[in-house]
Structure 1
Amino acid sequence: MNKNTAFVSSDEEIIYIGNENTVREISTSGKVLRTVRIINRRMDETSFSPSDGSEEFIISYKNGVFGKGKIHSSDCKLKSTELKEDGAVKKAVFCFEPYRIHSSDVFVKVIFEARDSDPVIRKYVTISSSDPKKLFIDYIDLEYFVLGADIKMRFSRPDMEKAYLSQFQSALGQPIYINGMYFGCEFPTTDNNIVDNTAHIRYFAGKALKELSNGNEIYISHPTIGGAARSFDMEVVRADFLEYIKGIAKPIYLRTQYNSWYDHMLDITSENIRDSFFEIEKGLSSAGVPPLNSYVVDDGWVDYDKDFWCFNDKFPNELYESSALSKKFSSEFGLWLGPRGGYNLKTDKFGRRMERSGKGGYNRQSRDVCVADHRYTKNVLEFFLDCMEKFDINYWKLDGFLLKSCKNRHHGHPVGGKHGMYCFTDCWENWTDIFEKMHLLREKEGKDLWINQTSYCNASPWHLMYSESFWMQNSGDIGFIDKTTSGEKLCGSDIDRMLTYRDSKYFDFHRKRQYQFPLSNMYNHEPIYGNTAKIHMTDEEFRKYMYMISTRGTAFWELYYSFNLFTPDMWLINADVLSFIRENFSILRNSKLIGESPDTGSVYGYSAWENANGIVSVRNPANKKQSFSFILDRIIGVVEGAENMTCVTVLPYTEKPDERKYSYGDTVSVDLEPHEIRIFKFTNENAVPLKLTEAKFINEKTVEFRFNSHIAVKASAFTLGGVALKKELRANYSDVRVYLPAEGENLQKLDIDIDVKDIYGNVLSEKVPVTYFKNGCIPISYGVSGRGDFALRLTLSAVPTDGMILLGGKDMSIFAANGKLVFDVKGIKAKSDTIIAGKDNVKVYALRERNGMIKLYIDGKLDCSGYDVRNAGADIAAGEIKCGASVNNIEIFNRAFSFDEVKD
Structure 2
Amino acid sequence: MMKRTILAALMAVPSLLHAQQIVLKNDQIKRTLSFDGKVWRTTEFSNIKGDKRLPVKSEELNILPMTGDKTYSITDFRVQGKPAVSTSKDTSFIVITYTPVIKADAIPALLRIKYYLVKGQPYTRKTITLIYDKMATVDRLEVERFVTDQTQTAEGGGRGEPVFINNQWFTGLEYPAGYSRHTDGNTPKDYSRYYEKVGNYSYIDLDGRDIEPHAQKGLTRLMHFPGYTLPNFQIESKTAMMGVVQERETAPTAFMHYMTTMWKAPRSFLHFNNWFEPEAKDLKGDGLLNIWRAFKTAITPYGVKMDAMVADDGWQERKSIWEPSPKYFPNGYADVKVLSDKLSHEGVGFGLWLSLNGYTNNIDWGLENGYKEAKRNKYFSQYGRNYSLSATKYKTEVLQKIPAIAKQVNALYYKHDFNVLSDMDEGNNHPATDRHGHEATLDAAIEILTATRKMNPAIYQNLTNWVWFSPWWLMYSDYLWMLAGDDGTNGNWPEISTRAMASTDRDTYIWRMFGNPADRPLVPISRLMTHGIIKNSRGMMESKEDNIQDWAEYVLMHYGRGTLLKEWYISPSVMKPEDWKALCTVDGWAKKHLAALTNTVFVGGRPDEGNAYGYIGWDGEKGVLVARNTQATTQKLIIPFDQSAGFKGLAGQSYKGSVVFPYQDTYPVTFTSGKNIEIELPGYATMAIELERGTSAGLKKEIAPIPFTINNGVVQVTVPATIKGRCDLLVIGRPETPAVKINGDTVMVLRSNKGRLNNFAGYAKSGMPSEKAAAWTMYTFDLLPYAGKNIQIEFSKVAGFESYILAEQVVNVPAARAGNNILWAITNNTRRQTVRIF
Q: CA deviation at 1:273?
A: 2.3
Q: CA deviation at 1:306?
A: 5.2
* Matching residue's letter, 1:478: D
Q: CA deviation at 1:734?
A: 7.8
Contact 1:603 1:628 in 2 (8 A): yes
3-state SS in 1 of match to 2:553: helix
Contact 2:34 2:43 in 1 (8 A): yes
Q: Of residues 448, 456, 466 in structure 1, which corresponds to 2:466?
A: 456
* Matching residue's letter, 1:76: F
Contact 1:355 1:361 in 2 (8 A): yes
Contact 1:182 1:228 in 2 (8 A): yes
Structure 1 residue aligned with 2:93: 91
Find out whether 1:281 has 2:296 as its counterpart: yes
Find out whether 1:205 has 2:205 as its counterpart: no
3-state SS in 2 of match to 1:431: helix
Contact 2:655 2:691 in 1 (8 A): yes
Contact 1:6 1:88 in 2 (8 A): no
Find out whether 1:119 has 2:122 as its counterpart: yes
Contact 1:612 1:643 in 2 (8 A): no
Structure 2 residue aligned with 1:9: 9
Equivalent runs, 1:31-430 vs 2, <5 Å: 31-40=38-47, 45-51=51-57, 54-62=58-66, 69-79=70-80, 80-101=82-103, 106-129=109-132, 131=133, 133-157=134-158, 172-180=159-167, 181-194=169-182, 195=186, 196=215, 197=217, 198-207=219-228, 209=229, 211=230, 214-215=231-232, 219-230=235-246, 236-264=250-278, 268-271=282-285, 272-290=287-305, 292-305=306-319, 309-316=323-330, 318-343=335-360, 347=361, 350-361=362-373, 363=375, 366=381, 367-372=384-389, 373-402=391-420, 405-410=422-427, 412-417=428-433, 420-430=434-444
> Distance between the aligned counterparts of 1:155 and 1:388, measured in 2?
37
3-state SS in 1 of match to 2:660: strand
Q: CA deviation at 1:260?
A: 1.0
Q: CA deviation at 1:651?
A: 1.7
Find out whether 1:468 has 2:504 as its counterpart: no
Contact 1:121 1:225 in 2 (8 A): yes
* Matching residue's letter, 1:182: F
> Distance between the aligned counterparts of 1:464 and 1:492, measured in 2?
38
Contact 2:426 2:432 in 1 (8 A): no
Unaligned segments of structure 2, at least 5 residues: 11-15, 187-214, 696-810, 826-838
3-state SS in 2 of match to 1:645: strand
Q: Deviations over 1:339-366 (max 9, x none)?
A: 34445xxx5xx11211111245354653
Q: Deviations over 1:373-421 (max 9, x none)?
A: 3322222233324422432111111111225x223324x331334xx11
- Which structure is richer in relative contact order (CA contacts within 8 A, separation 6 or more)? 2
**Sequence identity (%):** 20
Unaligned segments of structure 1, at least 5 residues: 158-171, 484-488, 687-712, 718-726, 737-904
3-state SS in 1 of match to 2:276: helix
The 1:320–1:112 alpha-carbon spacing in structure 2 relative to 1, beyond 3 Å, is closer
Q: Deviations over 1:855-895 (max 9, x none)?
A: xxxxxxxxxxxxxxxxxxxxxxxxxxxxxxxxxxxxxxxxx
Q: CA deviation at 1:267?
A: 5.1
The 1:339–1:92 alpha-carbon spacing in structure 2 relative to 1, beyond 3 Å, is closer
The 1:150–1:15 alpha-carbon spacing in structure 2 relative to 1, beyond 3 Å, is farther
Q: CA deviation at 1:567?
A: 1.3
The 1:386–1:108 alpha-carbon spacing in structure 2 relative to 1, beyond 3 Å, is closer
3-state SS in 1 of match to 2:260: helix
Contact 2:595 2:619 in 1 (8 A): yes
The 1:679–1:188 alpha-carbon spacing in structure 2 relative to 1, beyond 3 Å, is same
Contact 2:632 2:683 in 1 (8 A): yes
Tell me the C-alpha RMSD between the 2 structures.
Answer: 3.4
* Matching residue's letter, 2:385: D
Q: CA deviation at 1:138?
A: 1.5
The two structures have a TM-score, normalised by structure 2, of: 0.72
Contact 2:589 2:822 in 1 (8 A): no
> Distance between the aligned counterparts of 1:636 and 1:673, measured in 2?
23
Structure 2 residue aligned with 1:830: none
> Distance between the aligned counterparts of 1:87 and 1:6, measured in 2?
14
The 1:40–1:616 alpha-carbon spacing in structure 2 relative to 1, beyond 3 Å, is farther
Q: Of residues 620, 624, 637 in structure 2, which corresponds to 1:615?
A: 624
The two structures have a TM-score, normalised by structure 1, of: 0.67
Equivalent runs, 1:632-671 vs 2, <5 Å: 632-638=641-647, 639-641=649-651, 643-654=653-664, 656-658=665-667, 660-671=669-680
The 1:735–1:522 alpha-carbon spacing in structure 2 relative to 1, beyond 3 Å, is closer
> Distance between the aligned counterparts of 1:8 and 1:322, measured in 2?
62
> Distance between the aligned counterparts of 2:565 and 2:497, measured in 1?
25
Q: Deviations over 1:180-203 (max 9, x none)?
A: 211111222112223154321111
Structure 1 residue aligned with 2:489: 480
* Matching residue's letter, 2:480: F
* Matching residue's letter, 2:153: K
> Distance between the aligned counterparts of 1:6 and 1:588, measured in 2?
42
